Amino acid sequence: MNWDNVIFRLFIFWYCCGLILVGFDLLPPFLNWANAFFLILCGILGSIYFIRTFGSLWGLSFASFIFVISMFAEGLGVHYGLIFGQYVYSGDFGFKIAEVPIGIGFAWIMVIAVTHVLSMQIIEKMKESYIKWIVYALTGALIAVLIDLIIDPVAYLVKGYWGWEGNGVYYNVPFQNFTGWFWVSLFFHLLLYPLYVRNKVPDQASFHVWKHRMAMLFGMVMGMFIFLALLDGLWLACLLTSIPTLLLLLTYKKKINQQNATVEEVIV
DSSP code string of 120-143: HHHHTTSPSSHHHHHHHHHHHHHH
DSSP code string of 187-210: HHHHHHHHHHHT---S-HHHHHHH
Mean pLDDT of 11-25: 92
Q: What angle do CA 40, 43, 45 make, to 5 degrees?
A: 110
Overall pTM surpassing 0.85 (yes/no) = yes
Instruction: Indicate the SS3 state at residue 83.
Output: coil
Q: Is the pLDDT of residue 263 over 60?
A: no
pLDDT in tens, 173-201: 999 999 999 999 999 999 999 999 888 77
To the nearest whole percent, how much of the chain has pLDDT over 90?
A: 77
Q: Is the pLDDT of residue 92 over 80?
A: no
Rg (CA), the chain: 18
The β-bridge relationship of strands 100-101 and 96-97 is antiparallel
Mean pLDDT of 4-24: 93
Mean pLDDT of 203-215: 92
pLDDT of residue 245: 98
Please state, in angstroms and rounded to a whole number, the distance separating the CA atoms of residues 171 and 149.
Answer: 10
**265 confidence band (pLDDT: 50, 70, 90):** low
pLDDT of residue 66: 99
**2 confidence band (pLDDT: 50, 70, 90):** confident
Q: Is the pLDDT of residue 65 over 60?
A: yes
pLDDT of residue 268: 47
Q: Is the pLDDT of residue 232 over 50?
A: yes
pLDDT of residue 172: 94
Average pLDDT over the chain reads 93
To the nearest whole percent, how much of the chain has pLDDT over 70?
A: 96
CA distances from 157 to 86, 136, 184, 220 (A): 16, 32, 23, 21
pLDDT in tens, 94-130: 789 999 999 999 999 999 999 999 999 999 889 989 9
pLDDT of residue 82: 95
Strand partners, 97: 100
**267 confidence band (pLDDT: 50, 70, 90):** low
Least confident of 25-29, 60-64, 149-153, 209-213: 25-29
**202 confidence band (pLDDT: 50, 70, 90):** confident
